[in-house]
Amino acid sequence: MIKKISPCSTLRGEITPPGDKSISHRAILLNSIAQGRARLSNLCPGADCGSTLTCLKALGVSIKQASSAPPTIEIDGVGKKGLREAEDVLNAGNSATTMRLLTGLLAAQPFLSIITGDNSLRSRPMGRLISPLHLMGAKIWGRGEDSLAPLAIKGGELHGITYPLPVPSAQLKSAILIAALFAEGETIIQEPSKSRDHTERLLQTMGVPLKVNGVTISLTPPITPLNPVDLHIPGDISSAAYWLVIGAIHPDAKIRVKDTGVNSTRMGVIEVLLKMGAKIKIENQRWARGEPLADLSIESSELAGIEISGELIPQLIDEIPVIAVAACVARGVTIIKEAAELRVKETDRISNLVKELSKLGATMKEMPDGMVIYGGAKLHGAKCSSHSDHRLAMALGVAGLIAEGETLVEDAEAVGFSYPAFWQDVERIKAN
C-alpha cells in the first residue's frame, strides 16, 4: 500500500497509543506458563504480538479473546510443565521478540520445536541467542552455523550460567531469564548497559525470586508455580514517540498522548527531546502492576541538535528513526553514534533512514555505527519507501506532515506490526 501524506496548518487533540508491544509479548508468554487464568487488556494489537499468540496456541495454551476494544484476552496458563509439542513449524513472522523469547522457553521443553520467520527475521542475528543457551545445555541448531533462523530446538534439561551479555539487548536477556526459570541452579546475567527491564518486573510480580543490582540480574528457579497476573498494559512509548516528535517540530501543534508507559529504561526519547528543547510535560503519573504510566503533552518547540550515544542508545533504540526526523529540522548538527545495533533491526535502519530521509531533502551522512544529521532542512514531499519496516513507515509519515507538498510512503501497511491504527490517528490529529 502507498500512503499519501500532505501537511496541514494545525495539529490538535488527544492520542491514546496502542498497548506496549514489549510488555504484551512478555505478558502473553509468561502467563502461558503460569498456573491459572490471567486477563490482559489493552494488549498491543500489532501483528508481532499476534505471532506470539499464535505460537503459544500451537504449543497447547488456551487463549481466548474477551473483547476487541481495547484488545483483551484471557489466558489459561498451563504451568511450567504443561506445554506440548506443536504439530507444525512455529512462525514468528516479523517479530524478533517472539522468536528470541520463545527460543529461551522452548530450549527447556521436552520436545522438538522448529521456529521460522519472514525474510527480514530470517536475516537477523540469532547466534548471540544460541551461544548462551548452548552454554546452559540447550540443543539448538540454526542455518549459517547456528547463526540464523529457522531454528531447530530439541528441548531438555538446562543448568544456570553466569553470562556477561555481549550487547545490551533486552530480547537476549529475556530469553536467558526465561530459560533460567527451568534450569538447575542460579543464573546471573551482566548487561553492558541497562536495556528495557519489563521481563524482570513481570517475573517479580509473578513471584519469581529475581534480584536486580544495577546491571546484574540473578534468578534462582522458583519451586512454586508462577502466579498469573492480570494486567492493563500501558500505552507504548515507542508509538507515543511519533506524536511527541510531530508535536515538537510542527509549527502549530498541541497534542496530548494519554496512558503511556514511562518505565525508566524506556525514557531515552523523552530525555533526548527535552535536551533538544521540546516542550514536553509528564502528568498524572500512576502505576499498573509494577509498570509506571503517565499522560504526556507536547507543543510546538524550537529544537537544537545534540549528540546521542552510549548508555542512552538501548533506552531509545526503536525511537531513533523518528528522532532522526526531528534532527533533520532542528537547529545545528545531531550525531548519533555507538548505535550499530540499528543495522540488525527489521531492516538496516542506518542505511535506510539516510536513503529515505535524503529523498525528502534531509542532509545526512551514514556512519558505520550511526549517522550525522545536519539540521535546518526544509523538507519537501517525495516518494519514499518504508522497506516494510514499521518504524521507518511511521517516521516517514511524521516527516510527511511537515514536508512541503505531497509525500508518498511505499509499503505503508508495515505500521501493522506494532501500530495498526497509525494512519487513522494521523488523519484524526489533522482533523481536530
Nearest CA among 419, 429, 428, 394 for reference residue 71: 419
User: Is 27 or 317 the residue whose CB approaches ligand S3P more closely?
Assistant: 317
| Cα gap 247→255, rounded to integer Å | 6
CB of 360 to ligand S3P, least distance (A): 24
Measured from the CB atom, the residue of 274 and 344 that comes closer to ligand S3P is: 344
Mutual angle of helices 268-276 and 237-249, in 10-degree steps: 10
Active site residue 425: no
Residue 69 has what DSSP assignment? T
Which residue in 236, 318, 389, 425 is the catalytic one?
A: 318
Integer Cα distance of 358 and 352 in angstroms:
10
DSSP E strands: which ranges in 47-111?
Answer: 62-67, 72-78, 90-91
Minimum gap (Å) between residue 125 Cβ and ligand S3P: 9
Least CB distance to ligand S3P at residue 76 (A): 24
Shortest CB 242 distance to ligand S3P, Å: 15
Say if strands 253-261 and 231-232 run parallel, antiparallel, or are unpaired: unpaired
- Taking the CB of residue 157, how many other CB atoms lie within 10 A of it? 12
| 3-state SS class at 252 | coil
Nearest approach, Cβ of 291 to ligand S3P (angstroms)? 13
Residue 278 CB, shortest distance to ligand S3P, in Å, is 22
Supply the minimum distance, in Å, between the C-beta of residue 290 and ligand S3P.
Answer: 16
Residue found under cell 527531546: 273
Amino acid at position 145, single letter: E
CB nearer to ligand S3P: pick between 25 and 256: 25
From residue 333, alpha-carbon distances to 14, 99, 303, 364 in Å are 31, 37, 11, 10
Of residues 365, 392, 362, the one with CA closest to residue 375: 362
CB of 171 to ligand S3P, least distance (A): 3
Which residues are within 8 A (CB) of 136 and not within 5 positions of it... i.e. 6 or more apart? Answer: 107, 158, 159, 160, 161, 176, 179, 180, 183, 187
Considering the complex, state which of residue 80 and residue 196 has its C-beta at the smaller distance from ligand S3P: 196
* d(C-alpha 323, C-alpha 303), whole Å: 11
Binding residues for ligand S3P (CB under 6 A): 22, 25, 97, 169-172, 174, 196, 317-318, 341
Q: Please give the torsion angle defined by the CA atoms of residues 384, 375, 403 and 248, in that order, rounded to the nearest 10 degrees.
A: 120
Instruction: State the nearest-atom distance from the C-beta of 211 to ligand S3P, in Å.
Output: 20
280: which residues sit within 8 A by CB, 6+ positions away? 244, 248, 270, 273, 274, 296, 297, 298
Contact 426, 397 (CB under 8 A): yes
Nearer to ligand S3P, 43 or 172 (CB): 172
Q: Which residues contact 235 (CB under 8 A, 6 or more apart)?
A: 16, 17, 18, 19, 20, 42, 257, 258, 259, 260, 261, 293
By beta-carbon proximity to ligand S3P, the closer residue of 109 and 169 is: 169
Integer Cα distance of 106 and 31 in angstroms: 15
Task: For ligand S3P, give the closer residue by CB, 137 or 192.
Answer: 192
Q: What is the CA radius of gyration of the chain?
A: 21
- Give 169 or 347: the residue with its C-beta nearer to ligand S3P: 169
Nearer to ligand S3P, 293 or 329 (CB): 293
Catalytic residues: 318
